[in-house]
Structure 1
Amino acid sequence: MSEADVTAAPSRVGVAPQRPLRSRAFRWFFAGRSISMIGSFMSPVALAFGVLELTDSAASLSAVLAAALVPMVATMLIGGGIADRYRRDTVLRLTSLGAGLSQSGVAVLLLTDRHPALLLPLSALNGVFQGLTTPALRGILSNLTVGRGLQQASSLLASAGNTARIVGPTTAGLLTASVGGGWAIAVDAASFVLAAACFARISLPDLPPRAKGAPTMLAEMREGWTYFRSQRWIWSVTLAFAVFNATNMGFWQILGPVIANDTIGPTGWGVVLSARGVGALLASVVLVKVRLTRRPMRPALSSMALATLPLILLGAGADLPWLVATFVAGVAAEFFTVVWETVNNTHIPERLLSRVGAHDEFWSSLSFPLGQLVAPALAAAVGTAAVALTGGGVAAAAMLLTACVPALQRIEIGK
Structure 2
Amino acid sequence: MGRVKKALAALQDRGFRWFFLARTLTLVTGSMSSIALAFAVLSIDNDAGALSIVLTAFTVANIVFLLLGGVVADRLPRALVIQTSYVVDILSIGTTAALLFTHTATVPLLAGLAALNGASAAFVMPAMQGLIPQLTTPGHLQQANALLSFARSATTIAGPVVAGGIVALAGPAWVMVIQAAGWALAIVFLALVRLPPPVRGQRAGLFHDLHDGWREFWSRPWLWIVVLAFMVLNAIHAGAWGVAGPYIAKNDPLLGIAGWGWVVSAEGAGVLVMTLLLLWLPLRRPLRLGMLGMSALAIPLTLLGVHPSVLLLVAAAFVAGAGVEVFSTGWNVTMMEQIPEEKLSRVSSYDMLGSFVAMPIGTLAFGWLIARADVTALMVGSAIVYAVIALGTMLVPSIWRMGRATAPAEREPVSDGV
Q: TM-score range by the shorter chain?
A: 0.7 to 0.9
Distance change >3 Å, CA 65–CA 105, structure 1 → 2: same
In structure 1, C-alpha distance between the alignment counterparts of 2:305 and 2:175, rounded to whole Å: 29
Q: How many residues align?
A: 396
Deviations 1:108-149 (A, max 9, x none): 556648443332111111110111111101111111122211
After alignment, is 75-84 or 37-46 more displaced?
A: 37-46
Which of 381, 391, 416 aligns to 1:400? It is 391
Question: For the residues of structure 1 that align with 2:184 and 2:15, how far apart are their CA atoms?
Answer: 18
Please tell me the residue identity of whatever aligns with 2:122: G
Q: For the Cα contact (< 8 Å) 1:85–1:217, is it kept in 2?
A: no
Distance 1:138 1:379, change over 3 A: same
Q: Aligned residue for 1:84?
A: 74
TM normalised by structure 1 equals: 0.83
Q: Is there any run of 5+ residues in structure 1 with no aligned partner, and where?
A: 1-15
- Contact 1:61 / 1:254 at 8 angstroms: preserved in 2? no
Q: How far, CA to CA, are the matches of 2:9 and 2:277 in structure 1? A: 16
Q: 2:213 aligns to what?
A: 224
**1:141 and 2:132 matched:** yes
Paired residues for 1:14-33 under 5 Å: 19-33=9-23
Structure 2 spans left out of the alignment, 5+ residues: 1-5, 407-418
Match of 1:276 in 2: 267
* Residue 247 of structure 2 is aligned to residue 247 of structure 1: no
CA distance in 2, matches of 1:74, 1:215: 22
Tell me which residue corresponds to 1:307.
297
Q: 1:322 and 1:46 mapped to 2: Cα distance?
A: 29
Please state how far the C-alpha of 1:196 moved relative to its aligned partner: 2.0
* Equivalent residue letter for 1:94: T
Whether the 8 Å CA contact 1:172–1:270 is kept in 2: the answer is no
Structure 1's 122 and 287: CA in aligned 2 closer, same or farther, altered over 3 A? same
The 1-side partners of 2:298 and 2:380 are apart by: 9
Give the superposition deviation at 1:178: 5.6
Structure 1 residue 65: deviation in Å? 1.7
Q: What is the CA RMSD across the aligned residues, in angstroms?
A: 3.3
* Further displaced range: 71-80 or 158-167: 158-167
In the alignment, the residues of structure 1 paired with residue 382 and residue 186 of structure 2 have an alpha-carbon distance, to the nearest angstrom, of: 36
State the 1:47 CA deviation: 3.8
Query: Which secondary structure state, in structure 2, belongs to the residue aligned with residue 289 of structure 1?
Result: coil
**Structure 1 residue 45, shift from structure 2 partner:** 3.9
Deviations 1:211-254 (A, max 9, x none): 7x643232122111011112100001101111111111245444
Report matched runs for 1:105-124 at 5 Å. 105-108=95-98, 112=103, 114-124=105-115
Match of 2:153 in 1: 162
Cα separation, partners in 2 of 1:79 and 1:183, compared to 1, 3 Å: same
2:355 alignment counterpart: 364
- Are 1:37 and 2:27 matched, yes or no? yes
SS in 2 for 1:103: helix
> Aligned-pair distance for 1:351?
1.1
Alignment of 1:327-406 (within 5 A): 327-382=318-373, 390-406=381-397
Specify the SS of the correspondent of 2:395: coil
Residues of 2 paired with 1:176 and 1:256: CA distance? 26
Deviation at 1:412, TM superposition (A): 1.5
Q: Is the 8 A contact 1:62 1:373 kept in 2?
A: no
8 Å contact kept, 1:91–1:133: yes
Mean Cα deviation higher: 241-250 or 381-390: 381-390
Give 1:77 deviation, angstroms: 0.6
Cα distance in 1 for residues equivalent to 2:54 and 2:374: 23
Q: State the distance in 2 between where 1:103 and 1:309 align.
A: 39
Partner of 1:97: 87
